[in-house]
Amino acid sequence: MAASMHDAIIKRLLLLCVCGALMACQGEQGDDLDAFMRNAPSDKRPKVKPLPEVQAYLAMQYNADGQLVDPFRARKVARKAGALQPNLNRPRQLLESYPLESLKYVGSIAKAKLQYALLLTPDHGVQQVRLGQYVGQDFGVVTKISETQLDLKEIVQDDLSGDWVVRLSTLTLQE
């Protein structure tokens, strides 16, 4: 019986608290908040900068004065007599069909007082080269073979002048 009386008191206190909370919400205390919420959209105007005035397109003619070289036309290169040039009439060797970047120096061997470099090709074949043989697509000639690297002298064409120039390249040992 004491438990049911205790439950009844708790229910009455809970009912009293709920009624008190409802009466507190009924007051006129939130009117300023309601007024702000009603007026907020009218007070806030977006501040957007006006768009800049579009200027008329003025087409320019490329090379109107004839001073510039047409970048889409092949250049005519004046060949100098006695200038450095690769021998284009000689037969090509097997390793000249591969770009130098695709070849890997994997070792060296010596037989009959000649030293050979072993190059791994992209198709996983191993080829022997000796001094003076051609390697790569830029007319590269083997100039030195050591245990750690293979030195080449390539003859490449300069992009700006069209002249043939010497470029030194190396292939280092790949382990």
Asked if pLDDT for residue 67 goes beyond 80, the answer is no
Asked if pLDDT for residue 79 goes beyond 60, the answer is no
pLDDT in tens, 89-146: 889 999 999 999 999 999 999 888 889 999 999 999 999 999 999 999 999 999 999 9
Domains annotated on the chain, with CATH:
94-172 (2.30.30.830)
Q: Pick the most confident of 1-15, 58-72, 124-138.
A: 124-138
Q: Half-sphere exposure of 161 toward its Cβ, with a 13 Å CA cutoff?
A: 8
Predicted TM-score of the model (pTM): 0.53
Asked if pLDDT for residue 8 goes beyond 90, the answer is no
Q: How far apart are CA 92 and CA 82, in angstroms?
A: 23
pLDDT in tens, 44-61: 777 888 889 998 988 887
Q: φ, ψ for residue 71 (rounded to 5)?
A: -70, -10
Asked if pLDDT for residue 78 goes beyond 70, the answer is no
